[in-house]
């Protein structure tokens, strides 16, 4: 017998005992059946709200049946699914069934946003309210954010934060759009929640992909590592997770014509990310996200202290060494990039945030010394410089005290701009306009395959180097110090091209590439200082 709850929805009274028919008793037995009770419930009693057709009995597609099976058969699930494939509806049906037919369970729904958590709870509530009365479990508490059943089970929804679920004894965790949770929060949340699952809890993590380095991506990639030392494949990854995905065209309403129209509407990049489930960066990165996804980097061939070398210098090329200094007190990183020209290969980099400025200059000198040594003690092909903004003044003082003649190569400085009346300073001063110009060059060189990035750490920073106002910077919680040193390298090369015909020719070829597009945003305020 159904009744109205306080907020006007259909529920079932606590402890209400109805006399059921044999058929209804059989329904209950089928729903409780350990092996596939969830599927019986889904196909016979779960109603959904179709955006066009309204109330419909759930008729799962093939991939939805496999998804439900994955939920049930594996303790830890991670699912990477295209948009609009019914993943939230499928999950709502399973969670509702799980709560009603498994006593004394605590199910936590952690969603990217508050609205997402409410959306999932709304769908669970709909499934519960619309199913047959003899199937529905009685409830003791029923509101928008939680449901408590007379069998002792409950469903609780919350926004994903670092403290979500802390102190709870969780039986089943459901994370929705986990890839879009702030990276720092996601890492903190997973670190704190994992121990609560270690005593027998289950987890379902679902999302479309975002970055290829966030917590979701890490768990997904580890779930794909299923092979032991003998090459035998297991059903779950070494991290204990079973990974599930499907193709966009498994949906019966989608074909190549639909794909063509959708790409025309949202663009290829967004289609590949949201429907192809490729790890393409969601934000507006300086470097095209498809290009970034194709770049893998390489392992160093040599480590000298904190300096990673990806190639050995030769006397046939020039070398650009750029230092972006920092205070060295544990905050921002100091970074050095080394590029070979005119091949434009990254051959070395260094980064550290606890090396004082004098130590940073010593590392710079060591790098130049090594290049000179590898080039038969000829340092005439080395061009090095530092950013001279604020902290850079301290670096220039250290260089002066050391004697710039004691660092192999030439200290390269920014030419005086016509019409500017200021005291000349060695090195390069970064302004809004010079940064945008360097970003443009870097984008052009990489996207036209003229610049070879070998560092996986630099690639990681580039994936988080996104549009911000009229410029670019690291996403919150991430760093861009290696990128800054790379931008300084581009500025040094731009000066060098006026001295070396080989650099001039190759640089101009890159800038005139057919695929060149200026970085967005392309506007620069004339009032900017």
| pLDDT at position 231 | 57
CB 407, CB 364: distance < 8 Å: yes
Nearby residues of 24 by Cβ (< 8 Å), 6 or more positions away: 132, 134
Of residues 97, 126, 127, 91, the one with CA closest to residue 109: 91
> In terms of CATH architecture, what is 302-511?
2-Layer Sandwich (3.30)
2-250 and 302-511 have identical folds: no
| pLDDT at position 506 | 55
Tokens 């090329």 -> residue: 317
Coil, strand or helix at 395: helix
Instruction: Give the pLDDT of the chain (529 residues) as one tens digit per residue.
Output: 444 443 444 555 555 556 778 898 999 999 988 788 999 999 999 999 888 888 999 999 999 999 999 999 999 999 999 988 999 999 999 999 999 999 999 999 999 888 888 899 999 999 999 999 999 999 999 988 899 999 999 999 999 888 887 778 899 999 999 988 888 898 888 888 888 887 889 999 999 888 777 889 889 988 988 766 545 678 898 889 999 999 999 999 999 999 999 999 988 888 888 888 887 765 688 998 888 888 989 999 999 999 999 999 998 899 999 999 999 998 899 999 999 998 999 999 999 999 999 999 999 999 999 999 999 999 889 999 999 988 989 999 999 999 999 999 999 998 766 555 456 789 999 999 999 999 999 999 999 999 999 999 999 899 889 988 889 999 877 889 999 999 999 999 988 877 666 555 655 554 554 443 444 333 222 333 2
| pLDDT at position 13 | 54
Tokens 């092909």 -> residue: 381
**Cα–Cα distance between 287 and 280 in angstroms, integer?**
11
Tokens 């926004």 -> residue: 159
Of residues 485, 227, 212, the one with CA closest to residue 334: 485
Tokens 């984008």 -> residue: 443
The CA-based angle 207-269-180, given to 5 degrees, is 25
| pLDDT at position 184 | 84
**Cβ atoms within 10 Å, residue 327:** 15
Nearby residues of 85 by Cβ (< 8 Å), 6 or more positions away: 63, 64, 246, 248, 250, 251
11, 18, 72, 500 from 4: Cα distances, Å: 6, 17, 32, 83
Of residues 265, 283, 286, 285, the one with CA closest to residue 275: 265
**Cα–Cα distance between 223 and 338 in angstroms, integer?**
36
The CA-based angle 52-53-54, given to 5 degrees, is 95
Domain spans in the chain, listed from the N-terminal domain onward: 2-250, 256-291, 302-511
**Cα–Cα distance between 394 and 349 in angstroms, integer?**
21
Strand blocks (E) in 252-344: 302-304, 307-309, 318-324, 334-341
Nearby residues of 375 by Cβ (< 8 Å), 6 or more positions away: 313, 314, 315, 381
**Cα–Cα distance between 84 and 499 in angstroms, integer?**
56
pTM recorded for the entire structure: 0.61
**Cβ atoms within 10 Å, residue 150:** 16
Strands 334-341, 318-324: parallel, antiparallel or unpaired by DSSP?
A: antiparallel
**Cα–Cα distance between 523 and 298 in angstroms, integer?**
35
290, 325, 406, 518, 520 from 514: Cα distances, Å: 17, 35, 43, 12, 17
CATH of domain 2-250: 3.40.50.300
Which pair of tokens denotes residue 443? 């984008």
């Amino acid at each position: 017998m159904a009744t109205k709850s306080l907020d006007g929805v259909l529920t079932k009274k606590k402890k209400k005992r109805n006399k059921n028919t044999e058929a209804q008793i059989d329904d209950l037995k089928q729903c409780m059946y350990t092996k596939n009770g969830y599927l019986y419930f889904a196909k016979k009693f779960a109603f959904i709200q179709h955006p066009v057709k309204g109330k419909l009995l759930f008729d799962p597609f093939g991939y939805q049946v496999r998804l439900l099976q994955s939920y049930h058969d594996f303790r830890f699930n991670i699912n990477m699914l295209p948009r609009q494939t019914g993943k939230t509806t499928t999950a709502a049906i399973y969670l509702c069934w799980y709560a009603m037919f498994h006593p004394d369970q605590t199910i936590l729904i952690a969603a990217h946003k508050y609205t997402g958590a409410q959306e999932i709870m709304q769908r669970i509530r709909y499934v519960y309210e619309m199913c047959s009365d003899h199937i529905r479990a009685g409830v003791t508490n029923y509101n928008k954010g939680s449901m408590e059943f007379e069998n002792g089970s409950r469903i609780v929804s919350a926004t994903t934060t670092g403290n979500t679920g802390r102190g709870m004894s969780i039986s089943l965790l459901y994370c929705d759009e986990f890839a879009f949770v702030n990276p720092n929060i996601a890492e903190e949340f997973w670190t704190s929640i994992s121990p609560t699952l270690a005593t027998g809890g289950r987890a379902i993590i679902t999302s479309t992909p975002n970055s290829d380095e966030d917590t979701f991506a890490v768990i997904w990639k580890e779930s794909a590592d299923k092979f032991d030392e003998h090459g035998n494949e297991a059903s779950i990854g070494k991290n204990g997770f079973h990974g599930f995905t499907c193709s966009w065209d498994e949906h019966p309403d989608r074909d190549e014509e639909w794909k063509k129209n959708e790409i025309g509407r949202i663009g290829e990049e967004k289609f590949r990310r949201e429907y192809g489930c490729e790890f393409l960066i969601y934000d507006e990165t300086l470097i095209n996200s498809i290009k970034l996804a194709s770049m893998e980097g390489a392992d160093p061939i040599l480590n000298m202290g904190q300096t990673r070398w990806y190639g050995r210098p030769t006397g046939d090329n020039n070398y650009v060494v750029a230092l972006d200094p920092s205070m060295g007190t544990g905050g921002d990183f100091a970074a050095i990039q080394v590029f070979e020209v005119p091949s434009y290969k990254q051959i070395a980099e260094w980064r550290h945030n606890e090396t004082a400025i004098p130590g940073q200059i010593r590392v710079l000198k060591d790098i130049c010394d090594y290049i000179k040594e590898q080039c038969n003690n000829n340092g005439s092909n080395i061009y090095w410089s530092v950013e001279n903004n604020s902290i850079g003044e301290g670096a220039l003082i250290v260089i002066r005290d050391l004697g710039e003649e004691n660092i192999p190569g030439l200290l390269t400085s920014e030419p005086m701009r016509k019409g500017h009346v200021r005291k000349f300073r060695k090195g390069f001063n970064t302004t809004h306009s010079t940064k945008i110009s360097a970003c443009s060059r870097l984008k052009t060189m990489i996207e036209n395959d003229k610049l070879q990035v070998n560092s996986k750490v630099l690639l990681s920073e580039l994936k988080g180097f996104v549009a911000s106002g009229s410029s670019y910077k690291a996403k919150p919680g991430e760093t861009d110090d290696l990128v800054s040193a790379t931008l300084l390298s581009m500025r040094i090369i731009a000066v060098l091209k006026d001295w070396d015909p080989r650099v001039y020719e190759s640089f101009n070829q890159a800038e005139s590439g057919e695929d060149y597009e200026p970085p967005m945003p392309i506007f620069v305020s004339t009032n900017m200082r």
